[in-house]
Amino acid sequence: MWEDFKKFALKGNVLDLAIAVVIGAAFGKIVSSLVEDIIMPAVGILLGGFSVEDWTYTFQGAELRYGLFAQSVIDFFIVAFSIFLVIRIFTKLKRKKDVPAEAEPEVLDKKEELLLEIRDLLAKEKTGL
């Protein structure tokens, strides 16, 4: 059983997933800090100190803080948009890197050229019938 577990745990996909989770957690902290410490204060300044976090509704002694929920939804959209932009930038950079240089023209030897000419002649005769 231990050998089966080692085979499973050391497969490339599992290691790649573990690395992605760790990097994703670190990236999540960066994006959360961007939203909480930079974007939302800037939005608050632009809106004149307006904050939805304070929105509450009291019903029969129970306080419903729907402003916190609304703030969480706003934060989600900002985080999702930030991740979208980062992925888009990385994709563009990768495309530029992956563009192959112009392929050199293929050099055929005389036998290959002769075989291609024979093929073309046979195709021409076949369509001419």
Residue 74 makes CB contacts below 8 A (sequence gap 6+) with: 52
Amino acid at 18: A
Q: What is the pLDDT tens value at each position of the chain, 129 positions in all?
A: 888 877 776 776 777 788 888 888 888 888 788 878 888 788 778 878 777 888 899 999 899 999 889 888 888 888 788 778 888 998 888 887 766 666 666 777 888 888 888 998 888 888 765
CB atoms within 10 A of CB 27: 14
Confidence (pLDDT) at 84: 86
pLDDT at 30: 84
